[in-house]
Each structure stands twice: as C-alpha cells, then as structure tokens.
Amino acid sequence: MAKAPGIRLENLSVGYGGIPVASGLDLTMPGGKVTVVVGGSGCGKSTLIKHILRLHEPIEGAIYIGGHNVHSLSGKAARCMKQQMGVLFQDGALLGSLTIFDNLALPLREHTRLKENNIREIIDHKLKLVGLSGSEEKYPTELSGGMRKRAGLARALVMDPQVLFCDEPTSGLDPILSAELDHLLLDMMAHFDMTMVVVSHDLASMRAIADHVVVLGDGRSLFQGTVEELDASEDEYLRRFLDRLPEERDTPRLTMPPIGVDMFKDDCSKLLDLQHDD
C-alpha cells in the first residue's frame, strides 16, 4: 500500500485579489499524521486550505503534496491529484438536490466505471463507518447538523483519498457531538492510510486528535510542532491563545450611556410588568 503523502509549504503567501491574508508560510504537515491548524478568527486557516485544494492561486510560494507542486500540475495529473484529496466542509456542503446516497455516489459515478451494485456496496460501507446506515434516501435538509457533517465525511472518504482536509469539523456542535466527531476522525485515521489536515479553533478537539499542530496568527505562522511543545511554549500570543485570555485594549470599560432606551419604551412597562425572581 502507498504511504500517505506529506504536505510542504514553501514561502507561501495566501490571500484574495493580491491582498495577502497570511504570508511567509514555511510549514510541513507530515504524511500519515493528523495536523491541526489553529489560530484566531480571520487568521487565514480556511484560506490556506482553499489554496492547498487549488481553489485559489497563491500570491507567492509553492505547495507540495507528496513531492509534487500542486499549482504547477495540469491536465490529467492535476485531476489525479484532486481525486487523492477529500474534504469535509464546515457544514458538509452536500448537494441539496440529491439524497445522501446520490451525494456519495456522485464522485463514484463521475470518475469510476463501477456498476451500480458495487457503488451501493461502497456507499453502504462508508455510511456504516460514520454511523449513518439507513439515511441513504434522506435529503441533507432532513439531517441534523452533526449528521450532515458525518454524511460530508462519508462523501469525503468515498474515493479513498490519501489526504483528508476538514474545515472546522466541530463548529456548531455540542461538546458530546464534538467529541464523537473527534473519535470518528481518529477511527478513520486508524482505518485508512491517509494524511489528515484539520482546521479548527476548538482547542479540546486539537488536543484530542492532533499529532502535529500549526498555529497561525498575525498573518504568519507562529508555531509548528507537537501539542506538548505547544503547551511548553512561552510565547506571549500562544499563551494567551491557549489560556483563552482576551487581548488588553486601550478602550475604556463600558459605562451607562447618558440617555437610556427605557424612557422611549414607556408603554411596554405599563402593559407587561416583568417580575424579578431570585
């Protein structure tokens, strides 16, 4: 079996319309491991993933997957590279007009010559892996948020990719569902030989699944290493990030405004007297 490829970024600048969101990124995401990319909101985590996935061209630098410069590939090689990548989007990004079965079958029907009964077998297996057996004929809108993510994960895995990208997999999920999804991702890692890149700002999830951590912030890479090395870091931003301490600002504390809105709501207090309960 082929070894899962690693990802290497060389002096990469990513952004939109020539305006960089993050630049000077020299990072390694080891093959066969889970790399979690964390950082504050708007620091360029999802943007980075979209560039690795060739959805956008980098402003500068190169991205190598398994030794191949992703953005210099063209024609059939580029298509083969795409087929080696699976993506779990933030909200699943399942096609709303198709059932779960058809969503999963879509890449198989497009890129393979498998017969329908073989396709059904593969899909049954993948849905069983993510715990969604019996949901084949449902539409994405009929599923809960957690189920949609699991269906999205099944679709991402349906072509047996060598690299799996997950964009904020635990966002919008309660702690129990988040933990379940973390376990599911680890199960997938144990099941398939692949490299996983997870974008998240869920620190609990990062500790649960990461072999390797990348921290982005301030438009650059602030850290890469293991969770233990991250915990041992003395860097001021990283400490604040890990300890969830807010940034100190010069703005004064909020005070009561000179004119309250209550005086304009005179009729409401007469109609509805809200009681104070201890």
Partner 1 sequence: MPQAERGSLAPFAALGSAFTGFIGELGALTIFFLDSLRLVFAGWGQFPKVVRQIYFIGVQSISVIALIGGFAGMVMGMQLYFALAIFGADGFLGAGVGLSMVRELAPVLTAIMLTGRAGSAMTAEIGVMRISEQIDALNIMDINPVRYLVAPKMAASIISFPILTAFFNLIAISGGWLTGVKLLGANEGVYWSRVQDSLNWSDIEGGFIKSLVFACLVCTICCFEGYFTHTRKGHVGPEGVSQSTTTAVVKSCVIILASDYVLTSLLW
Report the C-alpha gap between 139 and 202 in whole angstroms. Answer: 28
Q: How far is the CB of 167 from partner 1 (least distance, A)?
A: 8
Using CA atoms, how far residue 253 sits from 69, 248, 256, in Å, is 50, 11, 10
Q: How far is the CB of 164 from partner 1 (least distance, A)?
A: 11
Q: How far is the CB of 266 from partner 1 (least distance, A)?
A: 34
Report the C-alpha gap between 136 and 193 in whole angstroms. Answer: 26
- Name which of 54 and 220 has its Cβ closer to partner 1: 54
Q: How far is the CB of 53 from partner 1 (least distance, A)?
A: 6
- Name which of 155 and 212 has its Cβ closer to partner 1: 155
Q: How far is the CB of 260 from partner 1 (least distance, A)?
A: 32
- Give yes or no for a contact between 60 and 37, defined as CB atoms under 8 angstroms apart: no
- Give yes or no for a contact between 58 and 13, defined as CB atoms under 8 angstroms apart: yes
- Name which of 54 and 207 has its Cβ closer to partner 1: 54
Report the C-alpha gap between 86 and 161 in whole angstroms. Answer: 6
Alpha helices per DSSP H over 158-226: 175-191, 203-209
- Name which of 17 and 258 has its Cβ closer to partner 1: 17
Q: Which residues contact partner 1 by CB under 8 A?
A: 50, 53, 55, 79, 82-83, 85-87, 89-91, 93-96, 106-107, 109-111, 155, 159
Report the C-alpha gap between 39 and 264 in whole angstroms. Answer: 43
- Name which of 95 and 204 has its Cβ closer to partner 1: 95
